[in-house]
Amino acid sequence: MARALLIIDVQNDFTEGGALGVEGGAAVAAAITQHVREHPDDYDVVIASRDWHDPDNDNGGHFALEGDPDFVNTWPQHCMAGTDGAEYHPSIDTGLIDIHVRKGQGVPAYSIFEGTTDDGRRLVTALDELGVTDIDVVGIATDYCVRASALDAITAGRRVRVLSDLVAGVAPESSAAALVELADAGVLVEPSAA
């Protein structure tokens, strides 16, 4: 039995001032780093994802290159590979991350399970190899990529917990609804101090 921490998309474009910045994103970035530093023995592996979109196309319809985005299926350009917006927020201590996952390379992708590790493995393969049975999920955005990642972790047969004080969402209503949906799916939703 091993426990993993999944840090979802704590990137410059998803924090205040970014292309799709969410309120509280910078504070969550700092709090996640503090949490990992204060609980070094809680996790056997720390894994972080980043959106890593192609800069020269619509990424399978994910970017609204013509007309206005609907903010459901189409979005403004964000987290383009090689840009500052795609980098981790500076409050994330990348030295604490064991495995990096990039997702959305040319296609829409919300869940960390849709990405690949730097050495080309699917995340579920890496988790299986490490014997990970339990997963804590933190990051951005509660109502999109955190939600999708936690649901996929359940589907992958893991015991999953979302640390409710270490996530930030796009909107209060949809974030609250996402946490209810996750709880209904079997995810334990609780603060990190619990």
pLDDT per residue as tens, the chain (194 positions): 899 999 999 999 999 999 999 999 999 999 999 999 999 899 999 999 999 998 888 888 889 888 888 888 888 899 999 999 999 999 999 999 999 999 998 888 999 999 999 999 999 999 999 999 999 999 999 999 999 999 999 999 999 999 999 999 999 999 999 999 999 999 999 999 85
Look at residue 40 and tell me if it is in a domain. yes
The pLDDT assigned to 71 comes to 85
8 token code pair: 């979802």
Q: How many domains would you assign to the chain? A: 1
Task: Report the alpha-carbon distance of residue 34 to residue 39 in Å, rounded.
Answer: 9
pTM above 0.85, yes or no: yes
The pLDDT of residue 76 is 87
Q: The CATH number of the domain where 36 resides is what?
A: 3.40.50.850
CA dist 59 and 57 (Å) reads 6
Tell me how far apart the alpha carbons of residues 125 and 33 are, in angstroms, rounded to a whole number.
26
Angle at 64 between CA 58 and CA 70, to 5 degrees: 140
From 13, 51, 79, 103, active-site residue: 103
Q: Tell me, what's the pLDDT at 152?
A: 98
Start-to-end CA span in the chain (Å): 20
DSSP code of 114? G
Q: Select which of 51, 79, 143, 145 is catalytic.
A: 145
Asked if the structure places residue 70 within a domain, the reply is: yes
Residue with tokens 């603060």: 191
**Phi–psi pair at 19, nearest 5 degrees:** -60, -35
Pairing of strands 45-51, 132-140: unpaired
79 is catalytic: no
**Angle at the Cα of 155 (from 151 to 160), degrees rounded to 5?**
60
Token match 């979302």: residue?
162
Range of the domain at 62: 8-132
pLDDT value of residue 161: 98
DSSP conformational letter for 5: E
pLDDT score for 70: 85
Is 145 annotated as catalytic? Answer: yes
- Tell me if 51 is assigned to some domain: yes
Within-domain flag for 138: no
- Domain annotation covers residue 167: no
Catalytic residue flag (residue 118)? no
Residue 169 maps to a domain: no
pLDDT of residue 194: 56
Question: Could you tell me if residue 192 is inside a domain?
Answer: no
Please report whether residue 170 resides in a domain.
no
